Chain A
Amino acid sequence: DAGITQSPRHKVTETGTPVTLRCHQTENHRYMYWYRQDPGHGLRLIHYSYGVKDTDKGEVSDGYSVSRSKTEDFLLTLESATSSQTSVYFCAISQPGTQGEDEQFFGPGTRLTVL
């Protein structure tokens, strides 16, 4: 199994509070991703990183920011959590080949509830 951990695994917070989720990998993969999973939507990309300090937005980036100061860590921050951000968050990693042949491997997920 790919060495990906997420912390915390579960979190309950209140509307308006800041929240940071951490993804840590031991695979030295270049790419890291944050997805959210909601019923009926599958997984949707929030942000991704293609190297240290190199990040870009995904499909549902509003209300989220990310940072990657080290290869192994990718942080997702909700500056002011809202109830619509209640979801399961997955981190993924990949090490793409030259033509994009890059399956992504996923962490165990973080269940976030915003009250």
Chain B
Amino acid sequence: AQKVTQAQTEISVVEKEDVTLDCVYETRDTTYYLFWYKQPPSGELVFLIRRNSFDEQNEISGRYSWNFQKSTSSFNFTITASQVVDSAVYFCALSGGNAGNMLTFGGGTRLMVKP
């Protein structure tokens, strides 16, 4: 069985602070994919990134960066110089290596960025 844990249910920061959202996963698959989604207050789910289990390179996209470490089964997400518009619920998710495999989501982390 697969499991995703986001231990931080809520984080509050002041604008321009850096913040890291933690994600720990469990899977028996040797091939798997990790995802992050953003859910702003408007409610839609926005895809941010996909990472496969064979690629442990960190990724940076603007103020966003992701740190994938298989040794600790973690896929953490860092926002640098946070902005009020970053306020949202962020979900980490996991899927197995079979085509069309379903996503297992973590419980989400609510990030509040205060001006």
Contact = CB atoms under 8 A, between A and B. Distances in A.
B84 to A, nearest CB: 23
B43 A94 contact: no
B44 A109 contact: yes
Contact of B35 (A31, A90, A103): A103
A115 interface: no
The B contact surface, by secondary structure, is: loop
Interface string A40-69: 111111001010000000100000000000
Nearest to B106: A42
Nearest to B103: A104
A109 B43 contact: yes
Interface residues of B, number: 28
Contact of A108 (B43, B93, B107): B43
Nearest to B45: A106
A99 B98 CA distance: 6
A94 B100 contact: yes
Interface in A81-115: 88, 90, 92, 94, 96-106, 108-109
Contact of B108 (A42, A58, A96, A102): A42
Interface of A: 30-31, 33, 40-45, 48, 50, 58, 88, 90, 92, 94, 96-106, 108-109
Interface string B79-99: 000000000000101011111
A100 B32 CA distance: 8
B105 A42 contact: yes
B16 interface: no
Given A40-B107, A41-B107, A42-B91, A102 B100 contact: yes
A28 B3 CA distance: 30
B96 to A, nearest CB: 6
B97 A99 contact: yes
Contact of A106 (B31, B44, B99, B107): B44
Interface in B21-59: 31, 33, 35, 37, 43-45, 47, 50, 52
B100 A31 contact: yes
